[in-house]
């Protein structure tokens, strides 16, 4: 039998014909599809019931619909209602108007709340491009840049397979230097360690009476009750450590000013001079030790260019004493004599020497000083024999010198 549709006649067949001619149309009663043969291709025309069921199905089997929707340049004609469902596996986006994933948004919020714009790590800070960089290698360029980096100081350089790409940093850029293991922050003019960006005034517990002895409030700087390292005017300068040989923590501006102690010099190799004066931080009471000549000095008057220093190792009334002994074997000659030589001489020969009488095995020896000089003296044994003698003790004293 045949079907007539709007004046068209379709053959109703239980199977598609085997001999096809251009323009042939028929109804396949088995598959319940209208078909047409055109341009060498058989095309099915679905029936109304099947088409209606397909159009209302939410399980759209045609993937080309999604492909068409995400083609480059494709634009939606209106808003999309997700019906309360989440978008999943969303990228980070690249433009300010792009949609993005939740974690990227949270990271950006945290960074901006801290006033920072976090960047990817860099290998190091350097002014010379590496010879064989790997793709993705990043550096911060320092002065004075050379080669491909010339004129790019402070910028971030990244190798993109064939060339360097440069990023001009904004104030607040933050990143990690992997080589130095430090966090770096860009101030707008220079990169610096995160620690350098911390305002000292925001540190905790820096208040008057602060128990942390390594800190001191500005408000306490004029106190005279023992605060370490402060001059009378409250100034703190490089003299607060005194000479590197040790000594005071701060050079006083006057002998009665506030501070820790007068400036001292405890490892000099010469005696002080008239120019070791106020201009060099010395005050009345400053001490000076000449370690080469074993002398000690005190400043009496620090007048600039006319300082007066008094040697405290040569004050009248102080006794310099030297003592020792001479073994019997050191005595020689007839009569027996021995010479004592000092390791450090007296200023002159005007000193007193006492030698001790000795009695051994009932035999008495009466040694005496035969002669003396600033650096030595001679003991005469008073006998031609020293067979029974063990040693002679002596003691030299000079008034007006210290030992």
pLDDT digits (tens, 9 = 90+) for 111-162: 666 677 889 999 999 999 999 999 999 999 999 999 999 999 999 999 999 9
pTM recorded for the entire structure = 0.30
Tokens 């992997």 correspond to what residue?
A: 178
pLDDT digits (tens, 9 = 90+) for 214-261: 555 545 544 444 444 444 443 344 343 333 333 334 444 444 444 456
Q: What is the mean pLDDT of residues 57-63?
A: 56
Query: Does pLDDT of 164 surpass 90?
Result: yes
Dihedral sign for Cα 11, 15, 17, 22, please: positive
CB 277, CB 305: distance < 8 Å = yes
Tell me the β-bridge partners of 165. Answer: 158
Q: Which token pair is 357?
A: 């009488």
Residues in CB range of 56: below 8 A, 6 or more apart: none
Q: Average pLDDT, stretch 25-29? A: 87
Give backbone dihedrals phi and psi of 162, rounded to 5 degrees, phi first: -120, -20
On whether the CB atoms of residues 214 and 159 are closer than 8 A, the answer is: no
Domains and CATH numbers, the chain: 2-55 (no CATH), 117-197 (no CATH), 223-313 (no CATH), 319-399 (2.60.40)
């Amino acid at each position: 039998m045949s079907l007539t549709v709007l004046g068209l006649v379709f053959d109703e067949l239980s199977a598609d014909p085997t001999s096809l001619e251009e323009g042939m149309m028929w109804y396949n009663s088995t598959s319940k599809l209208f078909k047409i043969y055109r341009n060498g291709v058989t095309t099915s025309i679905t029936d109304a019931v099947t088409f209606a069921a397909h159009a209302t199905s939410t399980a759209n089997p045609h993937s080309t619909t999604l492909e068409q929707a995400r083609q480059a340049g494709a634009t939606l004609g209106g808003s999309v209602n997700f019906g309360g469902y989440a978008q999943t596996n969303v990228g980070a986006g690249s433009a300010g108007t792009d949609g993005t994933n939740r974690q990227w948004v949270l990271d950006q919020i945290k960074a901006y709340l801290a006033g920072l714009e976090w960047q990817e790590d860099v290998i190091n800070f350097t002014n010379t491009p590496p010879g064989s960089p790997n793709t993705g290698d990043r550096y911060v360029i320092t002065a004075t840049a050379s080669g491909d980096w010339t004129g790019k100081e402070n910028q971030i350089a990244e190798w993109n397979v064939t060339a360097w790409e440069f990023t001009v940093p904004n104030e607040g850029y933050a990143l990690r230097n992997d080589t130095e293991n430090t966090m770096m922050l860009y101030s707008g003019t220079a990169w610096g360690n995160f620690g350098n960006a911390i305002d000292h005034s925001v540190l905790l517990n820096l208040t008057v009476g602060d128990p942390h002895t390594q800190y001191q409030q500005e408000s306490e700087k004029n106190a005279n009750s023992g605060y370490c390292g402060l001059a009378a005017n409250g100034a703190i300068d490089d003299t607060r450590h005194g000479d590197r040989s040790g000594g005071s923590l701060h050079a006083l501006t006057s002998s009665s000013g506030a501070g820790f102690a007068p400036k001292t010099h405890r490892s000099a190799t010469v005696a002080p001079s008239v120019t070791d004066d106020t201009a060099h931080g010395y005050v009345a009471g400053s001490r000076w030790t000449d370690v080469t000549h074993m002398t000690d000095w005190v400043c009496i008057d620090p007048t600039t260019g006319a300082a007066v220093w008094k040697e405290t190792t040569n004050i009248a009334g102080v006794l310099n004493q030297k003592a020792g002994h001479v073994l019997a074997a050191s005595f020689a000659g007839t009569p027996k004599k021995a010479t004592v030589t000092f390791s450090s001489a007296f200023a002159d020969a005007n000193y007193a020497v006492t030698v001790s009488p000795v009695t051994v095995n009932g035999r008495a020896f009466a040694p005496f000083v035969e002669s003396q000089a600033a650096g030595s003296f001679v003991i005469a044994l008073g006998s031609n024999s020293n067979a029974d003698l063990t040693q002679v003790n002596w003691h030299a004293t000079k008034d007006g010198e210290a030992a």
